[in-house]
Amino acid sequence: MFKEFIKGLSITFKHLLPGNSTTVQYPKQKLQPSDRFRGLHRLVPAHDREKCVACYLCPTVCPAKCITVESAENEKGEKYPKVYQIDLLRCIFCGYCVEACPVEAIEMTGEYELANYKRENFTFTKERLLK
Amino acid sequence: MPEVLSLSNNVPLFLASMLVKILAVFVVVILIVAYATWVERKVIGHMQTRLGPMQTGWHGLLQPIADGLKLFFKEDIIPTEATKVPFVLAPMMILVPAFITIAVVPFGPDVTLFGYTIPLQISDLNVGILYILAMAGLGVYGIVLAGWSSNNKYSLLGGIRSSAQMVSYELAAGLSIIAIFMLSQTLSLRGIVEAQTGPHPLFSFLPNWYILSQPLAFGLFVIGSLAEINRTPFDLPEAETELVSGFCTEYSSMKYALFFMAEYANMVVISAIAATLFLGGWAGPFFGPINLLIKVFAFMFFFIWIRATWPRVRYDQLMYLGWKVFLPLALANIVVTGIVVLGMQ
């Protein structure tokens, strides 16, 4: 019995020695998220416009129905998304849109600080997603 | 040899020295109480591989002040169903015995000032140990009253548990002290410290501290006093997980702060008493008070260390330990000490 008491005390004492703390002082000190972390979406730009061809695969596969796409044709006859909107309040960050995309036009970044003051600010339009 | 300063030879100097001693002891205890909360949070944090408070001041050094301010400005709630007078009285009844116990603890050798000898002790009662036991017994009234007057079943359970715990463990702790004054032949704490000066009778390289001649009594006293001041692993009266902090559930604002202060003040007092009874009091390499403070801090660190390590004992285990293990051990210790003391004469 006493052996176990002393064992327990020695474990806690070892933790007390400097260099054993695992805390990250978050706002001052940030960890790098891994490459496959699923954070905020980003539309990949091509030369002059977004890569997206408005094929509607991402809104179709989206389980949370948070992606709104409206397609149009530009002067060269290419299809492009006139409206591309993601409602982050509904998004579940599953990454199915990235998997479904045939032209790799959408990807997920490591951005995870998504808090905001207004509901409207959670609607990410094409311009914000292209940044 | 200069005269001992008393009311009969120099009234103003006596009053002044008393006032200075009381103020100094009170301020030191309050400071230790405030920073014990910080040290506890820091040490437990690191023992659980966290950091503890970091934001208020350098490494959270201003945390006790921030906590105090916060509690001071909180709304003071008295439940309508509570019994008002005991509800208000209880926090004071728990804090006052904690503070006045320290009055009999000697914190240094005699100093000579203006041709008088001034003992570094607020009051040298010739029944010092009885006084300590009496004050420890008074402390439980605060908890029981708080639990009963809150009119809340959890608080009442906490209060009842606390009184049962006190009754069981005060016996073991008190009986372990008996072995001490069988050796010292005095009840005065000053006398006990003086009896511990000089080298050990058997091993002359060791000091004659009672921890060496009474190790069992020391263990029993430390465990018994842990139970008496409701520290982990004997914190059943406030057991957050089962009794939602027990007797202080209904308390808020400064009344809650008083309970909090009383817990730490009790820790300081128990540490000081254990140091006086078993570790030679103020004896040591430095000036008296500093030696005592070092011993007090060591005890307090040990109490915090225990809190970070061991889980709470179950209620039946608590009673079993108190009545069937510690009490017989304390009685046996008295008998053995008595035989040895008789044999030495």
Do B305 and A13 make contact, defined as CB atoms within 8 angstroms?
A: yes
Tokens matching residue B118: 């001034």
**Residues B243-266: pLDDT tens digits?**
777 777 888 888 888 888 888 998
Q: Do B310 and A25 touch (CB under 8 A)?
A: no
- Whether A23 sits inside 8 A of B51 (CB atoms) is yes
Q: How far is the C-alpha of A45 from the C-alpha of A117, rounded, in Å? A: 28
Report how far residue B203's alpha carbon sits from residue B208's, in angstroms, rounded to the nearest whole number. Answer: 9
Radius of gyration of chain B (CA): 21
Give the span between the Cα atoms of B308 and B304, in whole angstroms: 6
Find the range with the poorest average confidence among A118-127, B139-148, B203-212, B267-276: B203-212
Mutation for A interface: B39, B40, B49, B216, most A CBs within 10 A: B49
B69 vs B48: CA distance, rounded Å:
27
A88: in domain = yes
Contacts of A95-102 with C-beta under 8 Å, sequence gap 24+, read A95/A38, A96/A58, A96/A61, A96/A62, A96/A63, A97/A41, A97/A58, A97/A61, A97/A62, A97/A67, A98/A41, A99/A61, A100/A57, A100/A58, A100/A60, A100/A61, A101/A52, A101/A57, A101/A58, A102/A53, A102/A55, A102/A57
C-beta neighbour count of B142 within 10 angstroms? 26
CA distance B216 to chain A (A): 14
Task: Say whether B47 and A22 touch across the interface (CB within 8 A).
Answer: no
B 282-321 residues inside an 8 A Cβ radius of A: 305-306, 308-310
Q: At what angle do helices B253-278 and B128-149 cross, to 10 degrees?
A: 160
A126 pLDDT band (50/70/90 cuts)? Answer: confident
Does this model's pTM top 0.95? no
ipTM of predicted complex: 0.73
CB A67 within 8 A of CB A86: yes
Report chain B residues whose CB lies below 8 A from the CB of A9.
Answer: 305-306, 309
Distance separating the N- and C-terminal Cα atoms of chain B: 32
Whole-angstrom Cα distance, residue B163 to residue B227? Answer: 11
Q: Under a CB-based contact definition with an 8 Å cutoff, are residues B253 and B77 in contact?
A: yes
**Mean of pLDDT values over B55-65:** 87
pLDDT in tens, B270-291: 899 999 888 887 887 788 788 8
Taking the C-alpha atoms of residue B74 and residue B289, their distance in angstroms, rounded to an integer, is: 37
Predicted confidence band of residue B1 (pLDDT cuts 50, 70, 90)? low
Residue A41 pairs in a beta bridge with A108
Query: Does the CB of A26 have a partner CB in chain B at under 8 Å?
Result: no
Closest to B64 measured CA to CA, from B74, B56, B52, B76:
B56
pLDDT in tens, B194-239: 888 877 777 777 777 888 888 888 999 998 888 888 887 888 777 6
CB of A29 less than 8 A from some CB of B:
no
Q: Number of A to B CB contacts under 8 A, please give it.
A: 34
What angle in degrees, to the nearest 10, is found between the helix axes of B253-278 and B84-100?
Answer: 30
Residue A22 lies in a domain: no
Mutate to test the interface with B, among A16, A23, A29 (most CBs of B within 10 A): A16
Residue, of A10 and B121, whose pLDDT is higher = A10
> Is the predicted pLDDT of residue A19 greater than 90, yes or no?
no
- Alpha carbon of A28: minimum distance to chain B alpha carbons (Å): 11
User: What's the mean pLDDT when you consider all of chain B?
Assistant: 85
Let me know if residue A49 belongs to a domain. yes
B126, HSE (Cβ side, Cα atoms, 13 Å): 1
Comparing C-alpha atoms, which of A111, A117, A119 is closest to residue A38? A111
pLDDT band at B146 (very low <50, low <70, confident <90, very high): confident
pLDDT of B88 > 80? The answer is yes
How distant is the Cα of B1 from the closest Cα of chain A, in angstroms?
Answer: 49
A101 lies in which domain range? Answer: 33-130
Report if residue A11 sits inside a domain.
no
SS3 of residue B231 by DSSP: coil
Task: Give A-chain residues touching B49 at CB under 8 angstroms.
Answer: 15, 20-23
Q: A114 with A83: CB under 8 angstroms? A: no
pLDDT at B27: 92
Looking at chain B, which residue has its C-alpha nearest residue A22? Answer: B49
Q: Do B50 and A9 touch (CB under 8 A)?
A: no
pLDDT band at B301 (very low <50, low <70, confident <90, very high): very high
Which of B140, B131, B136 minimizes the C-alpha distance to B105?
B131
How sure is the predictor about B302, in pLDDT bands with cuts at 50, 70 and 90? very high
Residues of chain B with pLDDT > 70, as a percent, come to: 98
Q: For residue A114, what is the domain's CATH number?
A: 3.30.70.3270
Q: Is the pLDDT of residue B52 over 90?
A: no
Does the pLDDT value for residue A117 go beyond 90?
yes
Half-sphere exposure of A105 (CA within 13 A, CB side): 21
Distance from CA of A38 to the nearest CA of B (A): 28
Nearest residue in A to B49, CA atom? A21
The CA distances from residue B67 to A55, B37, B60, B62, B64, in Å, are 59, 10, 11, 9, 5
Q: Do A20 and B305 touch (CB under 8 A)?
A: no
Q: Which residue has the tokens 């960890």?
A: A31
- pLDDT exceeds 80 at position A88: yes
> pLDDT digits over A25-58, tens only?
888 888 889 989 999 999 998 887 888 888 999 9
pLDDT of amino acid A63: 93
Q: How far away is chain B from the Cα of A34, in angstroms, using its nearest Cα?
A: 23
Task: Classify residue A124: in a domain, yes or no.
Answer: yes
Domain-embedded: residue A63: yes
For residues B88 and B96, what is the distance between their CA atoms, to the nearest angstrom? Answer: 14
Q: Which residue has the higher pLDDT, B69 or B344?
A: B69
Q: What is the mean pLDDT of chain A?
A: 89
A121: tokens are: 């600010």
**Closest to B227 in 3D by CA, of B155, B297, B174, B156:** B174
Q: Is B51 on the interface with A (CB under 8 A)?
A: yes
Q: Check residue B239 and give its pLDDT.
A: 66
Would the pLDDT of B2 be above 90?
no
Q: Under a CB-based contact definition with an 8 Å cutoff, are residues B147 and B156 in contact?
A: yes
Nearest to A12 among B47, B51, B54 (CB): B47
Q: Where are the domains of chain B?
A: 77-108+120-344
User: Does A77 fall in a domain?
Assistant: yes
Interatomic CA distance for residues B91 and B70, integer angstroms: 18
Among chain B residues, the shortest Cα distance to A20 is held by B49
